[in-house]
Amino acid sequence: MSVGVTMSATGAVQLLVFDVFGTVVDWHSGIAREVQALRPAVDGAAFALAWRAGYRPAMQRVRSGELGWTRLDELHRLMLDDILEKFDLADLSEAQKQHLSKAWHRLDPWPDVLAGLTRLKTRYTICTLSNGNIGLLTNMAKRAGLPWDCILSAEVFRAYKPDPAVYLGAAKVFDLAPAQAMLVAAHQDDLAAARACGLQTAYIERPAEFGAANPKDVSPEPANTWHARDFLALADQLGC
Amino acid sequence: MSVGVTMSATGAVQLLVFDVFGTVVDWHSGIAREVQALRPAVDGAAFALAWRAGYRPAMQRVRSGELGWTRLDELHRLMLDDILEKFDLADLSEAQKQHLSKAWHRLDPWPDVLAGLTRLKTRYTICTLSNGNIGLLTNMAKRAGLPWDCILSAEVFRAYKPDPAVYLGAAKVFDLAPAQAMLVAAHQDDLAAARACGLQTAYIERPAEFGAANPKDVSPEPANTWHARDFLALADQLGC
């Protein structure tokens, strides 16, 4: 449903930029699957939640300047090392740890994603806009068949979302005004930061992002331009 | 033909990075077509050569620090403004100048490119590695259907080829050693710079790059890993 601006304003959008983890791919079940492939006895769901819980603090260490510019692959490894002991995984070999730390490259898209992106791509330029590094996002897209026009990443702008440099940088790459770009994301805080920069916003529900056992609040936020169940519903709403 | 290293060395290559102007797309006939669409009386071939002749001096102005970081779109406009009078085009409207300055977004690939890239993509990650800016390369790929896995550009590294930061940066994006990446290009100087950084190199002939009337020297350079007539021949050689 359209929750905010008029059709004429959304008609000006040329670029859709997508949050990736949670919005495009199902990190929770993918990480659970990967750790259980190494160690069937581990509680995969709890492990996925614990690893992801390290994400915001790690971002903050870079944003605050405590760490210099560090790619998400390296942060994922630091975050993994922090939880290995808790899950009785400290005895994994270095090769196993390296393999597991890149599990984020091997996540599967939600079921609507390929068909939805293919429709959206007919009318819009579709790009990632993720804190994932370029190599991670490219490997993920190649494995999953995600038809991006361009991989944009925090790594291009050397700043992590929600830094305005990321949202404004994406519009500038295409010589667009912020209002000609729209962020598509399953997270209200990401959308709020994009909106503060002048981008249009589309919220995608993804109620099972944290696992089917932990349904998240997917209430509409009236400040968003669009609210859609999934990418197929967004394509319907945008007339693609 | 393989002109340099052994099969085992090339077997390690995982990433192919491509020069774009001249190697992937035919800038000479594309620019000639675009200017003649605006002004049929202009000598399109001479205009294309004159515009492209401004390229190296413009790059040098950025590399020397005389200009701060400037995207190729902006440099193309400066180079265009320098030759408008010579070709009796100074009376174009500002909208026409802007449209013409983005003609580089609308170039067509050589006839072998789509089929060749599609084959190469089955075995390798295929990326641009061009001095063109990200938006230019993305718009070009979307219009022409170029199936890149990732758009890498001087804009990502804030340095122009032949700066080593560009070649080394591309390998680093994918956590590869330089020898696991190969530059594919129709220009020996670009390949020489990549080779000096440790990348493998594939030369593509493109004898008509400067127009059929000005065939260029396409002699093999033994220092290159591969020498191929076009992308289909390269795919044959690489067993794709």
pLDDT exceeds 80 at position A21: yes
B65: left (phi over 0), alpha (psi -120 to 50) or beta: left
Query: Tens digits of per-residue pLDDT, B78-123?
Result: 999 999 999 999 999 999 999 999 999 999 999 999 999 999 999 9
Task: Find the mean pLDDT for residues B219-239.
Answer: 98
A-B contacts (CB, under 8 Å): 51
Within this chain, do residues B191 and B217 fall inside the same structural domain, yes or no?
Answer: yes
> Is the bond preceding residue A162 a cis peptide, omega within 30 degrees?
yes
User: Could you report the predicted ipTM of this complex, rounded to two decimals?
Assistant: 0.94
pLDDT exceeds 70 at position A18: yes
Q: For residues B42 and B204, what is the distance between their CA atoms, to the nearest angstrom?
A: 31
Mean residue pLDDT of chain A comes to 95
pLDDT score of B169: 98
Q: Which residue would you say has higher pLDDT here, A32 or B7?
A: A32
Q: For residues B133 and B73, what is the distance between their CA atoms, to the nearest angstrom?
A: 7
pLDDT exceeds 80 at position A6: no
Within this chain, do residues A225 and A132 fall inside the same structural domain, yes or no?
Answer: yes
Asked whether the beta carbons of residue A138 and residue B155 sit closer than 8 angstroms, the reply is no
Task: Find the mean pLDDT for residues B181-198.
Answer: 98
pLDDT score of A184: 99
pLDDT exceeds 70 at position A196: yes
pLDDT exceeds 60 at position B9: no
Query: Tens digits of per-residue pLDDT, A132-165?
Result: 999 999 999 999 999 999 999 999 999 999 999 9
pLDDT exceeds 80 at position B175: yes
Provide DSSP, B155-173.
HHHT--TTSHHHHHHHHHH
Query: Tens digits of per-residue pLDDT, A47-91?
Result: 999 999 999 999 999 989 999 999 999 999 999 999 999 999 999
Q: Which of B146, B183, B141 is nearest to B161 (CA)?
A: B183
Within this chain, do residues A96 and A190 fall inside the same structural domain, yes or no?
Answer: no
Q: Domain for residue A2, yes or no?
A: no
Within this chain, do residues A96 and A82 fall inside the same structural domain, yes or no?
Answer: yes
Mean residue pLDDT of chain B comes to 95
Of B151, B174, B175, Cβ closest to residue A150: B151
Q: Domain for residue B52, yes or no?
A: yes
DSSP B17: E
Q: Domain for residue B2, yes or no?
A: no
Question: Which of B106, B138, B165 finishes a domain?
Answer: B106
pLDDT score of B5: 46
Query: Tens digits of per-residue pLDDT, A109-124?
Result: 999 999 999 999 999 9
Within this chain, do residues A84 and A115 fall inside the same structural domain, yes or no?
Answer: no
Mutate to test the interface with B, among A173, A174, A176, A180 (most CBs of B within 10 A): A173
Q: Which of B45, B99, B106, B50 is nearest to B77 (CA)?
A: B99
Task: Find the mean pLDDT for residues A160-187.
Answer: 97
Q: Which amino acid is at A112?
A: D
Q: For residues A233 and A44, what is the distance between their CA atoms, to the nearest angstrom?
A: 31
**Closest Cα in chain A, distance from residue B215 (Å):** 34
Provide DSSP, B19-77.
--BTTTB-HHHHHHHHHHHH-TTS-HHHHHHHHHHTHHHHHHHHHTTSS-S--HHHHHH
Q: Which amino acid is at B56?
A: R
pLDDT score of A11: 53
Band the pLDDT of B6: cuts 50, 70, 90.
very low
Of A135, A139, A150, Cβ closest to residue B134: A150
Q: Domain for residue B184, yes or no?
A: yes
Question: Which of B71, B106, B141 finishes a domain?
Answer: B106
Residues of chain A with C-beta less than 8 angstroms from the C-beta of B141: 149-150
Query: Tens digits of per-residue pLDDT, B47-72?
Result: 999 999 999 999 999 989 999 999 99
Task: Find the mean pLDDT for residues A189-198.
Answer: 98
Asked whether the beta carbons of residue B134 and residue A173 sit closer than 8 angstroms, the reply is yes
Band the pLDDT of A2: cuts 50, 70, 90.
low
Range of the domain at B88: 27-106
CA-based nearest residue in chain B for residue A105:
B174
Structure tokens at A114: 């390929």
Least trusted range by pLDDT, from A48-57, B9-18, B113-122, B231-240:
B9-18
Question: Which of B86, B106, B126 finishes a domain?
Answer: B106
pLDDT score of B7: 44
Within this chain, do residues B82 and B159 fall inside the same structural domain, yes or no?
Answer: no
Asked whether the beta carbons of residue A141 and residue B149 sit closer than 8 angstroms, the reply is yes
Percent of chain A with pLDDT over 90: 95
Within this chain, do residues A53 and A139 fall inside the same structural domain, yes or no?
Answer: no
Within this chain, do residues A79 and A35 fall inside the same structural domain, yes or no?
Answer: yes
Within this chain, do residues A226 and A142 fall inside the same structural domain, yes or no?
Answer: yes
Q: Domain for residue A87, yes or no?
A: yes
Residues of chain A with C-beta less than 8 angstroms from the C-beta of B173: 133-135, 155
Band the pLDDT of B2: cuts 50, 70, 90.
low
pLDDT exceeds 80 at position B8: no
Within this chain, do residues B101 and B205 fall inside the same structural domain, yes or no?
Answer: no
The answer to whether residues A162 and B145 touch, using CB atoms and an 8 Å cutoff, is no
- Contacts of residue A139, defined as CB under 8 A and 6 or more positions apart, other chains included, come to A102, A105, A106, B125, B174
**Closest Cα in chain A, distance from residue B142 (Å):** 7
Work out the angle at residue B235's Cα, subtended by the Cα atoms of residues B233 and B240, and round it to the nearest 5 degrees: 145
- Which CATH number fits the domain that encloses residue B213? 3.40.50.1000
Furthest CA-CA distance within chain B: 58
Asked whether the beta carbons of residue A149 and residue B155 sit closer than 8 angstroms, the reply is no
Query: Tens digits of per-residue pLDDT, B205-220?
Result: 999 999 999 999 999 9
Q: How far is CA A62 from each of CA A59, A130, A133, A159, B238, rounded to the nearest angstrom? A: 5, 15, 14, 9, 41
Within this chain, do residues B137 and B224 fall inside the same structural domain, yes or no?
Answer: yes
Residues of chain A with C-beta less than 8 angstroms from the C-beta of B152: 134
Residues of chain A with C-beta less than 8 angstroms from the C-beta of B150: 134, 137-138, 141, 151
For helices B72-83 and B94-101, angle between their N-to-C axes, nearest 10 degrees: 120
Within this chain, do residues A44 and A55 fall inside the same structural domain, yes or no?
Answer: yes
Asked whether the beta carbons of residue B173 and residue A135 sit closer than 8 angstroms, the reply is yes
Task: Find the mean pLDDT for residues B119-148.
Answer: 98
Q: Return the H-helix or E-strand segment holding A16.
A: strand A15-18
Provide DSSP, B190-232.
HHHHHHHTT-EEEEE--TTTT-TTSPPP----TTSSEEESSHH
Asked whether the beta carbons of residue B150 and residue A151 sit closer than 8 angstroms, the reply is yes
pTM value is: 0.95
pLDDT score of B101: 97
